[in-house]
Amino acid sequence: MRILKNIFSLLVCCFLVTSCATLRHSKTVKIGNDKVAYATLGEGPLTIVLEAGLGDGMGSWEGIFEALSSITKVFAYSRPGYAPSSATSRPRTAEQIVDDLRLLLRSSGSSPPYILVGHSLGGRYMLNFIERFPQEVAGVVLIDTRHPMFTQSCLVQGLSWCKMPSVLYALLPSHIRHEYDAAQQPRMPATMGDTPLVVVSRTPNQGLESEKWHAVWAETQQGLAELSDRSRHLIAKQAGHYVHKQEPGSVIEGVNWVVSNWRADKER
């Protein structure tokens, strides 16, 4: 048990280091009573909106931010609770986070159409965004995003690692626990029609999980790809969960594919 606690403490430290990191050219703006940090770079008719995963702030995108800015304008931010943004008392539900994000985008001069790029839990927020505001979205890229029904499917199979271990959960800061808790309700995401969608998934069987766990993960990743009639499912051959750090080319390929489809639609 002591070894597990040491491992989980190390993971929490990694969470905190990543969540405190920032990007160059970052600025802040007030959303309600909260100070929210963001960064933009590049120009173009589309804005790539980067939403980090659980425990991560805008610094998670450092290795890919400039590369994406060569495609079109790119936007990243740190959700309230993640430095350099301030703490918040606002609910950490997907609906509240998306509402705040839309307000932040407009306040910072980033107008639609958007290419929504979400990693892990951030992908769940991007799904909420397009469900509610499809007219503002040119396309979506989901980076190893946990399907909203994954945990339930995993538990039905009687597998381990379906949920965050309680020891790790207890060590997390409150805003991260609140985000995690809000994401636990199983639900089927809405379909996207023919909105361009790219799902970028990790290489199977990387990590502590069992082969059966990865089989359920792969099945639900394909389920995400089937949310749109116009989609691609890319497997990052040399990456684990942090695909955008370990194999950024796969994410860039996905964004370029969305841009190409958007341009083709505009020319029709």
What is the pLDDT at residue 20?
A: 55
pLDDT in tens, 42-82: 999 999 999 999 999 999 999 999 999 999 999 999 999 99
Query: From CA 110, how far away is CA 49, in angstroms rounded?
Result: 9
Q: How far is CA 117 from CA 3, 33, 89, in A?
A: 36, 26, 26
Mean pLDDT of all residues in 118-124: 98
Cross-strand bridge partners of residue 38: 27, 77
- Report yes or no: 87 and 80 within 8 Å, Cβ to Cβ: yes
Mean pLDDT of all residues in 106-119: 96
Instruction: Count other Cβ atoms within 10 Å, centred on residue 103.
Output: 14
Residue 104 scores a pLDDT above 80? yes
Burial 188-198 (b: 16+ CB within 10 A, else e): ebeebeebbbb
What is the pLDDT at residue 5?
A: 38
Boundaries of every domain in the chain:
2-267
Mean pLDDT of all residues in 109-125: 97
For CA atoms 65, 70, 71, 73, the dihedral sign is positive
- Report yes or no: 149 and 216 within 8 Å, Cβ to Cβ: no
CATH 3.40.50.1820 correct for 2-267? yes
pLDDT in tens, 164-206: 999 999 999 999 999 999 999 888 999 999 999 999 999 877 6
pLDDT in tens, 11-52: 444 444 445 567 877 899 998 889 999 999 999 999 999 999
Kindly state the percentage of the chain with pLDDT values over 70.
91
Strands 34-41 and 27-31: antiparallel
- Report yes or no: 235 and 203 within 8 Å, Cβ to Cβ: yes
CA-based angle 234:193:91, to the nearest 5? Answer: 80
Residue 123 scores a pLDDT above 80? yes
Instruction: Count other Cβ atoms within 10 Å, centred on residue 219.
Output: 12
Greater confidence (10 vs 131) lies with 131
What is the pLDDT at residue 204?
A: 78
Query: From CA 121, how far away is CA 125, in angstroms rounded?
Result: 7
- Amino acid making up residue 98: V
What is the pLDDT at residue 1?
A: 38
- Amino acid making up residue 233: H
Output the six-digit token pair for 20: 């405190």
pLDDT in tens, 206-260: 667 889 999 999 999 999 999 999 999 999 999 999 999 999 999 999 999 999 9
What is the pLDDT at residue 48?
A: 98
